[in-house]
Structures are given as C-alpha cells and as structure tokens.
Amino acid sequence: MRETVPRPTGEMRTFGAHELIVTKTDLKGRMTYANDVFLRVSVFSEDEAIGQPHNIIRHPDMPKAIFKLLWETLAAGQEIFAYVVNLASDGAAYWVLAHVTPSFDARGRIVGYHSSRRLPDPAAIKAAAALYERLRAEEQRLGGQAGLAASWQLMQDLLAERGQTYDQYVWELTNEGAGA
C-alpha cells in the first residue's frame, strides 16, 4: 500500500460514458471488491485497494456534509445517488455519479455496501461543484463538528429554497443537465 495520501495535482481524469466503476465494501467501508475500471481510473492495483477503507479515494474538495447524508441514508437501509469527486492515487481527480446501496443478507441485515458509478454530464459537475464549494467554505470557516453542522444546515437551507431534497437535486442535474 502507498505510504502517503496523494495531493491533488489539478489533473482531471475521465472514463468512458459506457463504463461503470464498481466497488463493494464491508460494514466498516473496507473494499472487498473493485472492478477493473475502478482500478484503472483510481490508479490502484487490486492488492492496494482490497481491504483498504473506501475513503482512500476521498478528494479534499468533497464536503463532509455529503458524506454525512450518504452514511445516514445507507444506515437507514436506503439507496442514494450522489455526485462525488474522487482522488486517484496519483493525485488526479475524477467526478462520478454514484449509486450506493446497502447489501443485505437473507435475514434482511445490512452486511456491506455496493457502489456503481457512471460518468456525469459536465453541466451537472459544474452545478454540483458550485454547491460543494459553498458547503466546503462553511466547513472550513468553522472547522470540526461546528463546521460540519453549519455545512449541513446550509445544504438543507439551499435545498429548501429550491423546494427540493438532495435526491431531487441530483435527479434534476442528471435529467436536465445543470438545472435552473
């Protein structure tokens, strides 16, 4: 495994519109499966990825409020769609439209998570990046838990102004480009 967390280089990476990035994790978020597209785009070998926490690809531009929403949604046994910018092991960034679902055993207990990611539309990336920049600024302004709480509230307020939930916002971006 690589010893250091990569620094963003400013390089943007993409992948084919027909390709899917797929990973699976256990309950603690450690990768148990990564497909060849994930390995190629993230520039990790299978040995480097499997067993590692999925957040090894977390880009510092991602607001913590989005991950709070993601984990709360998954803990409730629900799926979530989210725009996410990831960080490859070489410092390149890549945007995805992620569909994350809990995986259940025969008794209906959550035993892990499955994520499939598609290439998002550039207009959707632009709109999501603008929202995320505002959320990150709030997190950085206050720092720690206070920053997360303020960012979370800002997200709720901005979505309420639009008369939307985050899911509705994502679908608007997905179906109409950058939305209104």
Running DSSP on this structure, what letter comes out for residue 93? E
Contact 61, 87 (CB under 8 A): no
The answer to whether residue 55 is domain-embedded is yes
Per-residue pLDDT of the chain (180 residues; tens, 9 = 90+): 555 678 999 999 999 999 999 999 999 999 999 999 999 999 999 999 999 999 999 999 999 999 999 999 999 999 999 999 999 999 999 999 999 999 999 999 999 999 999 999 999 999 999 999 999 999 999 999 999 999 999 999 999 999 999 999 999 999 975 444
In a domain, 14, yes or no: no
| 169 inside domain | yes
Q: What is the CATH number of the domain that holds 100?
A: 3.30.450.20
Backbone angles phi, psi at 87, to 5 degrees: -120, 120
pLDDT for 178 equals 46
Q: Quick check: is 128 in a domain? A: yes
Residue 10 inside a domain? The answer is no
The range of the structural domain enclosing residue 38 comes to: 21-176
How far apart CA 136 and CA 62 sit, in angstroms, is: 7
Give the H/E segment covering residue 122.
helix 122-142
- Domain annotation covers residue 9: no
- Give CA–CA dist 127/177, Å, rounded: 9
Asked if the structure places residue 84 within a domain, the reply is: yes
What is the helix (H) or strand (E) element at residue 118, kind and residue range? Answer: strand 110-118
What is the tally of structural domains in the chain?
1
**The model scores a pTM over 0.95:** no
